[in-house]
Chains A and B, each alone.
Chain A
Amino acid sequence: MKIAFTTSGDDLNAPFDSRFGRSPKFLIYDLDKNSFEVFDNQQNLNAAQGAGIQSAETIARLGAGALITGHCGPNAFKVLNAAGIMIFNTKASTVADALESYKSGKLQQLDNADVEGHWA
């Protein structure tokens, strides 16, 4: 399975970003191959509206089966849910920490949006 992480950097040691829709980048980690790729999210970072929806569409297209982020708003949740993507939230400081927490089963799956729209 592929997991999407929200980050502002380019590798596993990069800072974890708590925002989903307006995360600067997505790191897509492939659990089967133990490799990753980073995708820019600049377009949604600057979107006037619908950043969460667009970002959800982006990671669905990238083949993610799970998302690990800080928070998830109601519209993004609807799209992720429709796309069958599991959502986990964490306060990890780096992507590597977040990945480690996931692997050791410490992360709780979100069954609903945990913030209001436009919370940031």
Chain B
Amino acid sequence: MVIAVASGKGGTGKTTVSVNLAKAFGSAVQLLDCDVEEPNAHIFLNPSVSSEKVVNILVPEVDETRCDGCGECSRFCEYSAIVSFGSKPLVFPEMCHGCGGCARVCPKNAIHEVQKRIGVVKSSEAGNIVLIEGVLDVGVAMAPPLIRAVKSSLNKNLPAILDAPPGTSCPVIATLRDVDFVVLVTEPTPFGLNDLRLAVDMVRQLGIPFGVVINRSGAGDDRVHAYCYEEQIPLLMEIPDDRKIAEAYSRGSLIIEALPEYRGIFKGLINKISELKEQALSK
């Protein structure tokens, strides 16, 4: 089973839920940190034995002697990464999504692809958790190819938890694609509710079963509860607005280790997700 933990709003507790859920599994589980612009799950896990793999994308290089300036490459590229005016095309590697289309449509075979580094995928272990994290190089804007590289390291025979980046745009879609269940983490504030609505729209369009976790429950109002009730969205778990949790977090400790009384609610979350996933499958 592959579970993604996402949210519209940033800072709602995706990583908190992801790392504690992974720890609560007890048995072997993979944790994929797909928030490649600022991966931070490792802070809570202090993993050992690390391996690192460089991730490249393919970007075009033009052979001037073959190019006749027809402009097919430029017309094909959705991202303006290659531009031609009847002369040698200009290439903007930082705009390139690495699809390789320009090389395919070139009638003169004047374009070949070269590797361009975008980041690394790090693998490590911490107790029952295999941590796989993507780290995007500074100045690189292309998160989705690195997220796909993180996901390609996934072992299908073991359960996996994917810690998604915030928002509802390409990096999130790249993370959520092909997962079995999405946990949307929110907080009971007007900001949390606004961004939860956006996230719900996104997950519904992707057609993935999902439920909501309310973090810092009790800190705001009950509008998120009312929204979930109206929309018939399962409420999976509530993490109370407890100062002891904030203290553990600020030390980089796992909630379920620092405060064993919360171990049960994370175990309950695993059971609830399994049930809902089964229900969705039988529909």
> Which residue numbers of A lie inside 8 Å of B, CB to CB?
47-51, 53-54, 56-57, 60, 75, 78-79, 82-83
Contacts and interface: CB of A to CB of B under 8 A. Distances in A.
A113 to B, nearest CB: 13
User: What is the predominant secondary structure among interface residues of chain A facing chain B?
Assistant: helix
Interface in B86-140: 87, 90, 92, 95
Contacts of A83: 85
B92 A50 contact: yes
A53 B87 contact: no
**Which are the 10 A-B pairs with shortest beta-carbon distances?**
A50-B80, A53-B80, A54-B80, A83-B85, A50-B95, A82-B90, A79-B83, A53-B83, A57-B83, A60-B85
A75 B85 contact: no
Given A60-B85, A79-B90, 9 more contacts: A49-B80, A49-B95, A53-B83, A53-B92, A54-B80, A56-B83, A57-B74, A78-B92, A83-B85
Contacts of B85: 57, 60, 82-83
13 contacts: A49-B80, A50-B79, A50-B80, A50-B81, A51-B80, A57-B80, A57-B83, A60-B85, A75-B92, A75-B95, A78-B92, A82-B87, A82-B90
Q: From DSSP, what is the main secondary structure of chain B's interface residues?
A: loop
A56 B85 CA distance: 11
A104 to B, nearest CB: 31
B164 to A, nearest CB: 20
A78 B92 CA distance: 10
Contacts of B92: 50, 53, 75, 78
Residue among B81, B92, B95 having the largest count of chain A Cβ atoms under 10 Å: B92
Nearest to B170: A48
Nearest to A50: B80
A21 to B, nearest CB: 10
Contacts of B74: 57
B230 to A, nearest CB: 33
Nearest to A55: B80
Nearest to B92: A75
Contact of B95 (A53, A57, A60): A53
Contacts of B95: 49-50, 53, 75
Contacts of A54: 80
A85 B85 CA distance: 12
A49 B281 CA distance: 39
Nearest to B88: A82
Contacts of B83: 53, 56-57, 79
A95 B81 CA distance: 31
A79 B92 CA distance: 10
Residue of A47, A48, A53, A57 with highest tally of chain B CB at under 10 A: A53
Nearest to A47: B80
A51 B79 CA distance: 9
Nearest to B74: A57
A29 to B, nearest CB: 21
A78 B87 CA distance: 14
A3 B90 CA distance: 23
A82 B69 CA distance: 13
A75 B82 CA distance: 11
Looking at B80, B83, B90, which has the most chain A CB atoms within 10 Å of its CB? B80
Contacts of B81: 50
Nearest to A53: B80
Nearest to A60: B85
A57 B85 CA distance: 8
